[in-house]
Amino acid sequence: MKTLSVSIELSKLAIEAEGEMLAPKEWVSNMKKVLSKHEDIVGGFRESQLKNSKSLGEDLRLSEYQLNYEKSSLLFQLVNFSPRGEWQVQGFRFV
């Protein structure tokens, strides 16, 4: 149950970020900030990786990221949309 608070915070971040249209790098940065508050659960930050990126059309891309910490890893996907040449996160899900 220690991880419930982390899950709630990350879900809240996902809901709040939907209306903000953040760039993928900003989204990953915000995830890292939330997780840094929970080092007792996840451990210290090690690295972030773009595991996979697949084009779903000219303006749509699916990117899979992995954040590695000392005690665990977090894998998630971002749906990125580029309405005017600048990529923005349109959707999010944990994998």
Residues in the chain: 95
Give residue for tokens 């997780």.
Answer: 35
pTM above 0.85, yes or no: no
Report the percent of the chain where pLDDT is more than 70. Answer: 95
Nearest to 47 by CA among 66, 63, 24: 66
Pairwise CA distance, residues 74 & 68, whole Å: 7
What is the set of domains in the chain, with CATH numbers? 4-94 (3.10.450)
Residue-wise pLDDT tens digits, 23-41 = 888 888 988 998 898 899 8
pLDDT at 18 over 70: no
- Calculate the alpha carbon distances from 45 to 11, 24, 34 in Å: 20, 19, 12
Residue-wise pLDDT tens digits, 37-64 = 889 989 999 999 999 999 988 899 999 9
Mean pLDDT of 65-82: 91
pLDDT band at 71 (very low <50, low <70, confident <90, very high): very high
Give residue for tokens 């210290």.
Answer: 44
Q: How many CB atoms lie within 10 A of CB 79?
A: 16
- Calculate the alpha carbon distances from 44 to 38, 64, 77 in Å: 9, 21, 22
Give residue for tokens 């991880």.
Answer: 3
